[in-house]
Amino acid sequence: MTYIFDGSLPGLLTAVFEWFERKPGTVSLKSIETFQPEAFSESFTVVTNSDKADRVWKGLQGKLKKDWLRKFYCAYLSEIPEAFDHLFQFTIYVFQNEKGAENNYGNAHVIALAKYAKSVEREKHRMEAFIRFQHTADGIFYTGVDPDFNVLPLISNHFKNRYADQQWIIYDLKRKYGLHYNLSTVEEITIDFAVGVNSKNPEAILLNEKEELYSVLWKDYFKSANIVARKNTKLHIRHVPKRYWKYLTEKQLS
């Protein structure tokens, strides 16, 4: 038996609700995007219902401590097809057992969730570290990113607290939405980039006149801080995997 849901978090939680109402035995959960009909298996399409989802979420809040609710949310943000099924099975497992069952690291779903959450938290942390703002001519600090996972909801507060006195935009080019901080709140935005605008590295004319100066100084600093006698390229790449180099000002040729 396969349950199909719409890929949203309320959808996933509704699927848990439907399972408990029907108790159909072993079920796997797939999102509509990845579902392929199978000849010998039945399927059931879950209709997302916010009331049902809320009840399941409340139930989870009663069962899990804050750190595990966060792991649950992070694993969902990974957008990995198998993660959805693990989340589904994990929720059922938690409801069917006494409080504290989430600490059973011998359980396949517990360990899977912990693993997905770890990957997502790592990507979140990397975004906090590797994002480089460029000061645009209209005074906004802008950056375009395409993270492996959908981490913008997780980094919003970090940047809001940190850059409270400057307007900034972090735009997810892959998922086509972004965050804009307008000096009081963070709002979700979408941008229609004009044809010819490089959304990752805007042309100099769109940037603040000082931007060039500081990016050059930063590149200089990066070079000066290196100790040539200790060169260790393997370690360097392990810390800054090549797929992140496109974000880093210091890794761009001047």
Partner 1 sequence: MSFDRIREKLNILADAAKYDVSCSSSGGTRKNDNKGLGDSHSSGICHTYTEDGRCVSLLKILLTNHCIYDCLFCVSRKSNDVKRAAFTVDEVVELTMNFYRRNYIEGLFLSSGIFKNADFTMERLLLVCKKLRLEQKYNGYIHLKTIPGASDELIKEAGLYADRMSINLEMPTEAGLKLLAPEKSHQDVIKPLAFVQQNITQFAADKKLIKHVPKFVPAGQSTQMVIGATPESDKDIMYTANAFYKNFSLKRVYYSGYVPISNDSRMPVLGTQPPLLRENRLYQTDWLMRFYGFKVQEILNDANPNLDVDIDPKLSWAIRNMQHFPVDINKADYKMILRIPGIGVMSAQKIVQARKFGKLRIDQLKKIGVAYNRAKHFITCADSPYQLRDYQGTQIKAFILAESQSKYLKTDSNQLILF
Binding residues for partner 1, per CB under 8 A?
101, 103-108, 111, 125, 128-135, 141, 143, 158, 161-166, 210, 213-218, 220-236, 238-240, 248-250
Can you tell me the distance from the alpha carbon of 12 to that of 97, in angstroms, rounded to the nearest whole number?
A: 20
CB nearer partner 1, residue 22 or residue 122: 122
DSSP 213-239: HHHHHHHHHHHHT--GGG--HHHHHHH
CB atoms within 10 A of CB 19: 23
Nearer Cβ to partner 1 (23/230)? 230
Nearest to partner 1 of 23, 234 (CB atom): 234
Nearer Cβ to partner 1 (201/226): 226
| Tokens found for residue 209 | 């006149």
6 dihedral zone (left: phi>0; alpha: psi -120 to 50; beta): alpha
The rounded distance, in Å, linking the Cα atoms of 251 and 1 is 50
The residue among 129 and 197 lying less far from partner 1, judged by its C-beta, is 129
How near is the Cβ of 116 to partner 1 at its closest, in Å?
A: 13
Question: Nearer to partner 1 by C-beta: 55 or 70?
Answer: 70
Q: For the CB of residue 72, give the shortest distance to partner 1 in the complex, in Å.
A: 17
Distance of closest approach, residue 100 Cβ to partner 1, in angstroms: 8
**Min. distance of Cβ 21 from partner 1 in angstroms?**
28
Three-class SS string for 71-100? HHHHHHHCCCHHHHHHHHHHHHHHHHCCCC
Burial (0-12, 13-18, 19+ Cβ within 10 Å), 78: buried
Find the shortest distance in angstroms from Cβ 10 to partner 1. 30
Report the C-alpha gap between 136 and 155 in whole angstroms: 21
Least distance from C-beta 187 to partner 1, angstroms? 18
